[in-house]
C-alpha cells in the first residue's frame, strides 16, 4: 500500500468519535527513519515530522495525528510495518 493513499483528507462526520495516533520513543529507529515515515505515511511536512520526532525523543511519546478510527488504524499498521511503536486511542 502506498503511503500517499493513507493521508488523504479524512473528514469526520459531525457526531463521529475522534481518535488519536500516538508515536512512542524507542532505541532502535533513527530520526531520519522516523521523520521519513511520518512524511510518507501521515502526510506531515518535514518540519512537522521533525518536531514530532524530537518531542517523542524528549517526552517518550507524541500525538502525531487525529482523525477517524479507520484512517488511523491504517496508518498505525503501516508505521508498525516500518518498525515504529504506535497506538490508536479514542479522544
- The yes-or-no verdict on residue 4 having pLDDT over 80 is no
Where do the structural domains in the chain lie, given as residue ranges?
Answer: 16-90
Cβ–Cβ contacts within 10 Å for residue 9, how many? 7
The pLDDT tens digits for 13-59 are 666 789 999 999 999 999 999 999 999 999 999 999 999 999 999 99
The topology under which CATH files domain 16-90 is Ribosomal Protein L30; Chain: A, (3.30.1390)
Q: Which helix (H) or strand (E) holds 67?
A: strand 61-67
**pLDDT given at position 7:** 52
Of the candidates 41, 63, 67, the one whose C-alpha atom is nearest the C-alpha of residue 52 is 63
- The yes-or-no verdict on residue 85 having pLDDT over 60 is yes
- For the question of whether the overall pTM of this predicted structure is more than 0.75, the answer is yes
- The beta strand positions in the chain, using DSSP E, are 19-24, 61-67, 85-90
Amino acid at each position: 500500500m502506498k503511503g500517499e493513499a493513507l493521508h488523504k483528507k479524512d473528514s469526520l462526520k459531525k457526531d463521529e468519535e475522534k481518535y488519536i495516533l500516538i508515536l512512542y520513543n524507542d532505541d532502535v529507529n533513527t530520526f531520519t527513519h522516523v521523520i521519513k515515515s511520518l512524511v510518507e505515511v501521515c502526510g506531515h511536512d518535514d518540519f512537522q515530522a521533525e518536531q514530532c520526532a524530537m518531542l517523542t525523543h524528549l517526552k517518550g511519546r507524541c500525538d502525531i495525528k487525529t482523525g477517524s478510527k479507520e484512517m488511523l488504524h491504517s496508518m498505525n499498521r503501516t508505521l508498525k510495518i516500518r518498525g515504529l511503536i504506535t497506538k490508536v486511542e479514542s479522544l
